[in-house]
Amino acid sequence: MKDSYDLLVIGGGPGGALAARTAATAGYSVLLVEKRPAPGAPVRCAEGIGKDALAEFVKPDSRFISAEVTGAELVAPDGVSMMLSSEMAGSKVGYILDRKFFDRELVWQAAEAGADVMVKTRASAPILSGGAVKGAVLEYCGSRKKVHADLTIAADGVESKFSRWCGIDTTVPVREIMSAAQYLMTDITIDPSTTVFFFGNTIAPEGYLWIFPKGNRTANVGIGISGKKSGPGNRAKDYLDRFVAGKFPNGKTIECIVGGVPVCRPLESTVMDGLMVIGDAARVVDPMTGGGIYNAMFTGRLAAEVGMKAISDGSCTREGLMPYDEGWRKSPLGKSIERNWHIKEKFITLPDAKLNAIIHSAKALDLRDFSTISLVKEIIKRNPLLLADLAGLMASIG
């Protein structure tokens, strides 16, 4: 570890690794720090990602892919389900990753590209000078060291503190944190090529419960509920235990993980002098699905691309970094976050009877593609009165 770098990246998840890999590949000096002993562990993720989405950033490899999925089943509160399957038979639409291997692979790629990597190393304070971020104080196994950087990228996840220390309010509203729990279960009977989503205010209030296959008889079985609905006796783990007791009474849980997923709007600003914020730390998760892997990689790479130019120009100011903030907001990703936030706000208000009606109406759908948005569009078409206000939204923002 040197005393100064062009770029300091705080956090070794997919977002931080993409930022580090991008800048290191272009020849910039980069330090990536990860506070945990190993990237990727413990997992805090349902591990699903679209096939095309993954391929934008990394060559798919069986070492970090647990399963390929071709369809999804949506289960209404009353138990009626609808299948979404790819129109082209046999084509794979999504992957369930193994994040322990995936995250390690991406950090390895960053290191291979020339980035320095420090694990078990925590950024405990920013170095601030005249209101600008100039690096961080790093703690590693009892030692403390200042590392200066022209640019710092905060990729420190849902529990992000770094940008808060720099003056950005990152607090997630209680009603917009998804409190989540997940078991990796084995010896269960599932369809190994289908993801299953369960909806309803009894099963997963303001959220959903999922079964994401990880093999023939193995799956991530998890749930996210609104923080507003969480409390003694009705926490994410309580809901999950009740579901598992009924659905997989003989299944074996070989991993138990928990997490928080921010489904609020993104930070008002993701840049300041000397600092960019990406991924979960920037709250750029898809508010409908809670998915954040792609969004983290997208913002990570874009931050590095904008950041490299700013570093070379000596202009790592808020203005110099602003093309990153504007760039992701104007991108299809940014637009879909904004649109899906509105859709989420509508869907969480629906009582079970309406959720039943929606899934019944869409039961026979054969969607051309697999995106959330094409599903929502079809549902609105079939439920014009129920979701009239959303139809207006969809028409206005496409």
Partner 1 sequence: MLPANSIGMLKIHRDICGYCGCCVSVCPEGALELIDAYLEVDERCTSCGICAKVCPLGALEVTK
Q: Footprint of partner 1 on this chain (CB under 8 A)?
A: 35-37, 42, 44, 120, 122, 157-161, 164, 170-174, 177, 179-181, 227, 230-232, 235-237, 256-260, 262
Q: Tell me the longest C-alpha to C-alpha distance in the chain.
A: 63
Return the number of the residue (181 or 271) whose C-beta is nearest partner 1. Answer: 181
Min separation Cβ 283 and partner 1, Å = 9
Reading the block at residue 139, the tokens are 């703690």
Which helix H or strand E contains 36, and what residues bound it?
none
Return the number of the residue (190 or 236) whose C-beta is nearest partner 1. Answer: 236
Q: Is 258 exposed, middle or buried (0-12, 13-18, 19+ CB in 10 A)?
A: middle
**H-type alpha helices, the chain:** 14-25, 51-55, 99-112, 162-165, 236-247, 293-313, 318-330, 332-347, 352-361, 372-382, 388-397
Min separation Cβ 16 and partner 1, Å = 15
Reading the block at residue 328, the tokens are 């992701």
Min separation Cβ 41 and partner 1, Å = 11
For the chain, the first-to-last Cα distance in angstroms comes to: 48
Return the number of the residue (160 or 336) whose C-beta is nearest partner 1. Answer: 160
Min separation Cβ 210 and partner 1, Å = 15
Q: Calculate helix-pair angle for 318-330, 332-347, nearest 10 degrees.
A: 60
Return the number of the residue (152 or 383) whose C-beta is nearest partner 1. Answer: 152
Return the number of the residue (37 or 249) whose C-beta is nearest partner 1. Answer: 37
Return the number of the residue (339 or 344) whose C-beta is nearest partner 1. Answer: 344
Query: b/e map of 316-335 (b: 16 or more CB within 10 Å)?
Result: beeebbebbbebbeeeebbe
Q: Is 37 exposed, middle or buried (0-12, 13-18, 19+ CB in 10 A)?
A: exposed
Min separation Cβ 323 and partner 1, Å = 27
Min separation Cβ 239 and partner 1, Å = 10
